[in-house]
Amino acid sequence: MDSDNANVTSETHEDSISPVRAFISIALVSIEQWWAVLLPLLITARLAYKRYASPLRSYPGPFWASCSRVWKVKSTFLGRTNWDHVELHKKYGPIVRIAPDEVSFSSPQVARHVLAAGKRFTKTDFYWVFPPPENPDIFTEIRSEVNTPFWLLILTVWQHAMKKKVANVPYSMAAMRQLSPFIDDTVEFFMSRLESYCPASDTPGFKQAGVDTKPQTVDLGKWLHYFAFDVLGEVAFGRSFGFLAAGFDKEDAIKTIDNSQRYNGVVGQIPEFDYLLRRNPLLKLIPALDPSNYLITRIAKEEMNKRRPFEVEREGKGANSDGREDLLASLIKGHLKDRERFHEGDVFSVAHGAIFAGSDSTASTMQSLFWLILSTPRVYATITAETDAAVQNGTISSTGNIDWAEAQSLSYFQACLKEAMRLRPAVGLNMTRHAPSEGVDLEGHHFPGGTRLAMNGWVLHRDREIFGEDADLYRPERWLDDEENAKVMERYMFQFGGGAHICIGRNLAILEINKVCPRLLRDYEFQLVDPTRELKATATFFVIQEGLEVYISRKGPSKA
Q: What is the distance between the alpha carbons of residues 292 and 193, in angstroms, rounded to a whole number? A: 31
**Burial 279-300, CB ≥16 within 10 A → b, else e:** eeeeeeeeeeeeeeebbbbebb
What is the Cα gyration radius of the chain? 29
**HEC secondary structure over 193-247:** HHHCCCCCCCCCCCCCCCCCCCCCCEEHHHHHHHHHHHHHHHHHHCCCCCHHHHC
Sequence-distant (6+) residues with CB within 8 A of 207 are none
Judge contact between 236 and 327, C-beta under 8 A: yes
Kindly report the length of the chain: 560
DSSP string, 106-158: --HHHHHHHHSTT-S-EE-GGGGGSSPTTS--TTT-----TT--HHHHHHHHH
Q: What is the distance between the alpha carbons of residues 307 and 329, in angstroms, rounded to a whole number? A: 8
503 annotated ligand-binding residue? yes
Question: Which residue, 446, 482, 444, is CA-closest to 466?
Answer: 482
- The one-letter amino acid code at 104 reads S
Q: Tell me the three state secondary structure of residue 503.
A: coil
Judge contact between 203 and 556, C-beta under 8 A: yes
DSSP 8-state secondary structure symbol assigned to residue 80: B
Contacts of 331-340 with CB under 8 Å at 24 or more apart are 331/166, 331/167, 331/170, 332/307, 334/166, 334/167, 334/169, 334/170, 335/166, 335/310, 336/310, 336/312, 337/166, 338/162, 338/166
Q: Tell me the three state secondary structure of residue 159.
A: helix
Q: Where are the alpha helices (DSSP H) in 53-107?
A: 63-67, 70-77, 81-92
Judge contact between 284 and 559, C-beta under 8 A: no
Binding residues are 503
Binding residues for heme are 503
